[in-house]
Amino acid sequence: MTPRLPIVSLIITLALAQTPRVHAEQAAETPAVQLFDEARELMEDGKYEPACPKLEQSQKLDPQLGTQLHLGHCYEKLGQVASAYRTFQAAAELAALRNQQGTNEPREKIARDRASSLENRLALLELRPADPSPELKIVLDGEPIGRAQWNRPFAIEPGDHVLQASAPGREIWEQPFKIGVPAKRGIVVPLLKPQNKAQAQVAAPAEAWVAPTDAARSSSASLQRIAGYVALGTGAVGLGLGALFGLLGTSRVTELAGDCDLARGVCAIESGDSVARQRIESLHGQASTFATSANISWIIGGIAVASGVVLILTTPRDDKPAMTLGIAPGGLTFTARTNAL
């Protein structure tokens, strides 16, 4: 059960009295001490809203365990339970460190008890990033949430909040949510979508694949025409080689016909005449090789000639129809333009 205000104030006062601010008497006019004293006077009058910022500033200028305990109490009175809980926890950790170092610090128990008394009034949030990459940044109400707080519950103030996640080259993900007390809520931060991918498609020009200038269109036509002539030349060479291989193969067949009946596949070779046998086998092999080479050359040459003819005949000219293919928000677009004669 949370102590009543007079008792709580008395406990804090007694705790502070055991470890007074070292510099209070030596430098009573320092800004940190002035802010602390002003905050205490405001808290005694019940004016916690202006007191908390003064304690915060005092703690920044000169961190002290007593100031931290007063700040936690101030947060609690304002209803900022999560801030009070975190402040008391931090004070307990500092006091525990002093005790470990051999300093008698009784305020560790006070800080832990104050933090425990708030646990049943906390709103807890647990963030679970689907892709905890190093570039991912998560912000809660404009304040960054450190990676050490991911995948574990941490206290936040009850009420309305806005969670944001961002990463380079990705769309910002945002989710408003509301949480009460006591409550524990887990939120999964999803994989972020690539940035502006859909917007880039919608904003694309209606004719996204069109030669932008007449000069570029003329250059493209010239390259196509050159490719056509190269293909014709290649085809002519292929056809020529096919004719040459065909003639060579025919000559070998003619030589074979002098010693063999090609229709029956029988050759007249005297028994033991290995020279004649080798000559006939060599002629047969050469004839077969030349025939195969001729066929391949004819096929390649024919395809190359056909491709060259198509490229040359389809090369766009200024007096022929111009066609454009585009991408519009509604789908593909096709445009044809013909110059009047």
Reading the chain (341 residues) residue by residue, the pLDDT tens digits are 344 444 444 444 444 444 444 444 444 579 999 999 999 999 999 999 999 999 999 999 999 999 999 999 999 999 999 999 999 999 999 999 999 999 899 999 999 999 999 999 999 999 999 988 999 999 999 999 999 999 999 999 989 999 999 999 999 999 999 998 888 889 999 999 998 755 445 444 433 333 344 555 566 677 887 887 887 788 788 788 878 878 887 887 787 677 776 666 667 666 667 777 777 778 778 878 978 887 898 799 789 788 878 878 887 765 444 444 454 445 545 454 444 33
CB 109 within 8 Å of CB 125: no
What span, in angstroms and rounded, lies between the C-alpha atoms of 291 and 249?
A: 6
Per-residue pLDDT at 215: 54
User: Measured between alpha carbons, how far is residue 202 from residues 165, 199, 211, 308, 333 in Å?
Assistant: 25, 5, 20, 39, 14
> Selecting from 2.40.110.10, 2.60.40.1120, 3.40.630.30, 3.40.50.20, what CATH number does the domain 123-195 have?
2.60.40.1120
Closest-CA residue to 150 (of 188, 116, 95): 188
- Amino acid identity of 244? L
Classified as helix, coil or strand, 102 is coil
Provide φ and ψ at 123, rounded to 5°. Answer: -105, 120
CB 186 within 8 Å of CB 178: no
User: Which residues, at least 6 apart from 254, have a Cβ–Cβ distance to it below 8 Å?
Assistant: none
Left, alpha or beta for 331 (phi > 0: left; psi -120 to 50: alpha)?
left
Per-residue pLDDT at 25: 45
CB 152 within 8 Å of CB 90: no
CB 188 within 8 Å of CB 282: no
Per-residue pLDDT at 317: 63
CB 16 within 8 Å of CB 71: no
Per-residue pLDDT at 130: 93
User: Which residues, at least 6 apart from 239, have a Cβ–Cβ distance to it below 8 Å?
Assistant: 297, 298, 301, 302, 305
Provide φ and ψ at 22, rounded to 5°. Answer: -60, -35
Q: Structure tokens of 337?
A: 């333009």
Per-residue pLDDT at 74: 96
Q: Which CATH class is domain 5-120?
A: mainly alpha
User: Measured between alpha carbons, how far is residue 325 from residues 201, 210, 317 in Å?
Assistant: 15, 7, 18
What span, in angstroms and rounded, lies between the C-alpha atoms of 129 and 311?
A: 55
CB 44 within 8 Å of CB 28: no
Tell me which H or E stretch contains 139. strand 137-140
Classified as helix, coil or strand, 30 is coil
What single DSSP character describes residue 170? B
